[in-house]
């Protein structure tokens, strides 16, 4: 019970804290490029740590990395609440992302090692998305109502203390999954490069609209939090529906890429585009995972690559779009993002993903 509480409350707290800064980004930096960098720094930290942490957890055990990830989350959260320099905030967000990468990799490995892993994974992913929504809504409301931008960050940092403490009272699962074939990493990258590219772009687009919207819209942090939260809610609904159907992966990803073009342009004119983009992203993730299902013996490496490229997209695209918005305007930034989705539709058929890599 302590283990489940640590994992479930831990992922909720980590994800909530990761999004708590989003509705109040303008309070931490003035320019769109710096706001995009602060938002993306978290994902850069997660990007560089997710795959190494997963590999390390197989060597030293998952519990130490679960503890480390939660400790880093707590410390970085409280640091964000008292630091005023945007460049220090940038560094702390990177460190926070490293902590999240350590926790998520080890926690998912732990979840997948127990006999009831399917049920555990469902709860884990549900609380992951619930944390994202809670972080946006609560932080936006607290920041706006009390006129204290860091209040939401303090709130979720305090909450993360609980699983960080209980993490010292859990033990390693007696069930282990032996992972082999690390030398297959490069062949997998080559074989599935177009699929991985679609992950970078289509998942990264969600980060673009989230990072641009606070300054672009000029609305209150509370309103921003609600709209971005609705994106996560629509993703949850889409994932639940898509996972119960048998969609052809290639055609689905191509169609979603085309629909993402309209979703991005729609979000320029109305925040309703957030709901469309969130739903498309949910379907895309299910289709991409189905695309990788043929890799029977190397699912750990395959899913590690999938997670890493998703984080890469959330890191690079918001920063690049922020630069474009600063120098060429928001409309050009949204159009450039939409064009990226077009490139996915044009290239996904070239993926040679037909036979498992052995």
One domain for residues 148 and 206: no
CATH number at residue 355: 1.20.1250.20
Residue 319: pLDDT over 70:
yes
One domain for residues 151 and 272: no
Residue 215: pLDDT over 50:
yes
One domain for residues 159 and 283: no
One domain for residues 228 and 332: yes
The arithmetic mean of pLDDT across residues 142-152, rounded, is 86
Residue 175 lies in a domain: no
More confident residue, 330 or 144: 330
One domain for residues 41 and 163: yes
Domain membership of residue 38 as a residue range: 1-168
Residue 276: pLDDT over 90:
yes
End residue of a domain, out of 168, 199, 222? 168
With CA atoms as reference, report the closest residue to 258 among 343, 352, 199. 343
Tell me what percent of the residues of the chain surpass a pLDDT of 70: 87
Q: What is the pLDDT of residue 298?
A: 59
More confident residue, 157 or 105: 157
More confident residue, 255 or 62: 255
What's the chain's average pLDDT? 84
Residue 173 lies in a domain: no
One domain for residues 88 and 197: no
Residue 27: pLDDT over 60:
yes
The arithmetic mean of pLDDT across residues 123-127, rounded, is 75
Q: Model-level pTM?
A: 0.75
The arithmetic mean of pLDDT across residues 286-309, rounded, is 70
Q: How far is CA 222 from CA 24, 175, 214, 216, 233, in A?
A: 9, 44, 10, 15, 17
With CA atoms as reference, report the closest residue to 253 among 351, 147, 324, 152. 351
């Amino acid at each position: 019970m302590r283990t489940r509480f640590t994992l479930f409350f831990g992922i909720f707290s980590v994800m909530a804290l990761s999004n708590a800064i989003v509705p109040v980004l303008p309070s931490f930096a003035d320019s769109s490029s710096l706001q995009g960098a602060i938002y993306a720094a978290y994902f850069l930290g997660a990007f560089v740590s997710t795959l190494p942490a997963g590999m390390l957890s197989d060597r030293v055990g998952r519990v130490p990395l679960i503890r480390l990830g939660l400790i880093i989350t707590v410390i970085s959260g409280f640091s964000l609440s008292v630091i005023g320099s945007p460049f220090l905030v940038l560094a702390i967000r990177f460190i926070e992302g490293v902590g999240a990468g350590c926790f998520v990799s080890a926690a998912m490995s732990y979840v997948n090692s127990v006999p009831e892993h399917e049920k555990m994974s469902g709860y884990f992913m549900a609380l992951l998305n619930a944390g994202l929504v809670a972080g946006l809504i609560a932080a936006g409301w607290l920041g706006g109502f009390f006129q204290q931008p860091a209040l939401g960050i303090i709130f979720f940092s305090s909450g993360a203390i609980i699983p960080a403490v209980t993490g010292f009272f859990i033990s390693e699962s007696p069930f282990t999954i032996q992972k082999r074939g690390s030398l297959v990493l490069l062949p997998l990258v080559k074989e599935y490069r177009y699929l991985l590219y679609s992950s970078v772009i289509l998942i990264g687009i969600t980060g673009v609209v989230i990072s641009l919207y606070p300054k672009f819209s000029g609305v209150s942090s509370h309103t921003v939090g609600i709209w971005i939260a609705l994106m996560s809610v629509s993703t949850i609904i889409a994932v639940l529906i898509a996972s119960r159907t048998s969609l052809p992966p290639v055609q689905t990803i191509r169609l979603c890429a085309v629909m993402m073009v309209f979703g991005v342009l729609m979000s320029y004119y109305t925040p309703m585009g957030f709901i469309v983009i969130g739903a498309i992203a949910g379907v895309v993730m299910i289709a991409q995972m189905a695309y990788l299902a043929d890799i029977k013996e190397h699912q750990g490496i395959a899913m590690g690559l999938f997670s890493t490229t998703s984080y890469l997209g959330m890191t690079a695209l918001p920063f690049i779009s922020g630069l474009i918005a600063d120098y060429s305007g928001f409309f050009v930034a949204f159009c450039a993002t939409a064009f990226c989705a077009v490139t996915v539709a044009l290239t996904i058929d070239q993926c040679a993903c037909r036979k498992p890599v052995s």
